Amino acid sequence: MENIAENIEKLYEKAERYSKTTYELVRLNTIDKTSDIISSLAIVITILIIAAIFTLFINIGIALWIGQALNSNALGFFIVSGFYIIVGIIVFIKRNELIKIPLDNLIVSKLLKSKMDDNNSETKN
């Protein structure tokens, strides 16, 4: 009878350690995936900021060039602004195809990448 009680106590201790270890593993995996996504987004945001600054100066140059050709700087800036209004409307209409779906795919692939890496390392062992 005492042997059964000892076995139950050992089983309880092992189950408790297993649940704590599993919780810690899930917590660490979540931290890893979150940091991977945040670092990827930080890189994308940095590239977008650089591209925005580059685009700003190119657009100022184009607006001045068009304005010089038409003898009216204001008209050059209006033409460039009109172009971006049209581009903005097109992007708004196709926002799911151009922004949401690729961003969703990026996040899902980042989340599943570590899962696939874990599975590959398990099959190699």
Tokens 């890189």, residue located: 43
With b for 16 or more beta-carbon neighbours within 10 A and e for fewer, the 35-54 pattern comes to: eeeeeeeeeeeeeeeeeeee
Give residue 113's pLDDT: 75
Give residue 43's pLDDT: 92
In Å, what is the CA distance from 96 to each residue of 2, 59, 92? 66, 26, 8
Give the count of alpha carbons within 13 A of 85, CB side only.
Answer: 6
Give residue 13's pLDDT: 93
Give residue 5's pLDDT: 83
* Tens of pLDDT, residue by residue, the chain (125 residues): 678 888 888 999 999 999 999 999 999 988 988 888 888 889 989 999 999 999 999 999 999 999 999 999 999 999 999 999 999 999 999 989 988 888 888 888 877 876 666 666 656 65
- The domain spans of the chain are 2-119
